[in-house]
Chains A and B, each alone.
Chain A
Amino acid sequence: MDTSKLTRIDDTTWQIDPTGDMRVPGIIFADEALIEAMDDKVAEQTANVARLPGIVQASYAMPDAHWGYGFPIGGVAAFDPDEGGVVSAGGVGFDVSCGVRSLLTGLTVADIRAVQERLADALAAQIPAGVGSRSGISLNRQEMDAMLVGGAAWAVEQGWGEPEDLERIEEMGRMAGADPDCVSEQAKKRQRREMGTLGSGNHYLEIQAVEKVFDAETAAAFGLVEGEVLVTIHCGSRGLGHQIGTEFLRDMLPAAAEAGIRLPERELACAPIHSPIGQRYLGAMRAAINCALANREILGHFAREVFDRFFPEHRLPLLYDVSHNTCKVETHTVGGRPRQLYVHRKGATRAFGPAHSELPEALRGEGQPVLIGGSMGTGSHVLVGMGTGGKGFYSACHGAGRAMSRHAALKRWHGRQVVDDLAERGILIRSPSARGVAEEAPGAYKDVDQVVEVAERAGLARRVARLTPLICVKG
Chain B
Amino acid sequence: MQPTGWTLEPHDADVRVVGWGPTLAHAFEQAAVALTHVVTESCVAGREWLTVSCEAPDPELLLVEWLNQVIFEMAVGGLLFSRYRVVIEGEVLRATLWGEPVDRTRHAPACEPKGATYTALRVERVAGGGWVAGCVVDV
List residues of chain A with CB under 8 Å of any chain B CB. 39, 41, 66-70, 73, 93-95, 130-134, 186, 189-190, 199-201, 239, 242-243, 245-246, 249-250, 253, 265-267, 269, 402, 405-408, 432-436, 439, 475
Contact = CB atoms under 8 A, between A and B. Distances in A.
Contact of A407 (B8, B65, B111, B117): B8
A406 B15 contact: yes
A199 B11 CA distance: 20
Given A130-B104, A250-B65, A405 B114 contact: no
B112 A199 contact: yes
Scoring A200, A246, A250 by chain B CB atoms within 10 A of each residue's CB, the highest score goes to A246
B5 interface: no
What are the 5 A-B residue pairs with the smallest beta carbon separation, nearest first? Answer: A132-B102, A131-B109, A405-B10, A407-B10, A266-B118
A69 B114 contact: no
Nearest to A438: B110
B117 A249 contact: yes
B104 A405 contact: no
B10 A406 contact: yes
Contact of A66 (B13, B64, B119, B139): B13
Contacts of B10: 405-408
A190 to B, nearest CB: 5
B3 interface: no
15 contacts: A94-B117, A131-B107, A131-B109, A200-B109, A246-B116, A250-B61, A250-B64, A266-B121, A267-B118, A405-B11, A405-B12, A433-B108, A433-B109, A436-B111, A475-B111
A133 B108 CA distance: 12
Contact of A200 (B8, B110, B118): B110
B124 interface: no
Scoring B15, B78, B138 by chain A CB atoms within 10 A of each residue's CB, the highest score goes to B138
B75 interface: yes
Given A402-B13, A407-B10, A433-B109, A242 B114 contact: yes
A363 B76 CA distance: 40
A316 B13 CA distance: 33
B20 to A, nearest CB: 18
B35 to A, nearest CB: 13
B22 interface: no
Nearest to A266: B118
A201 B41 contact: no
B118 A245 contact: no
Contacts of A70: 118-119
Given A186-B72, A405-B10, A131 B111 contact: yes
Given A73-B12, A133-B104, A239-B76, 12 more contacts: A131-B39, A131-B102, A199-B112, A200-B112, A200-B139, A239-B75, A243-B115, A246-B114, A246-B116, A249-B117, A402-B12, A475-B111
Interface string B60-76: 01001100100110011
Interface in B73-119: 75-76, 78, 101-104, 107-112, 114-119
Interface residues of B toward A: which range? 35 or more
Contact of B111 (A189, A190, A439): A439
Contact of A69 (B76, B107, B138): B138
Scoring A133, A242, A245, A402 by chain B CB atoms within 10 A of each residue's CB, the highest score goes to A242
A246 B68 contact: yes
Given A130-B109, A186-B72, A94 B12 contact: no
B33 interface: no
Contact of A432 (B41, B104, B118, B138): B104
B48 interface: no
B136 interface: yes
Interface string B1-28: 0000000111111110000000000000
Contact of A201 (B64, B104, B108, B139): B139
Contacts of B75: 190, 239, 242
A406 B112 CA distance: 13
Nearest to B108: A433
Interface in B34-55: 39, 41
B109 A67 contact: no
A154 B76 CA distance: 23
A261 to B, nearest CB: 15
A249 B109 contact: no
Contacts of B8: 407
A201 B76 contact: no
B123 to A, nearest CB: 13
B108 A434 contact: yes
Contacts of A253: 61
B15 A407 contact: yes
Contacts of A94: 114-115, 117, 138
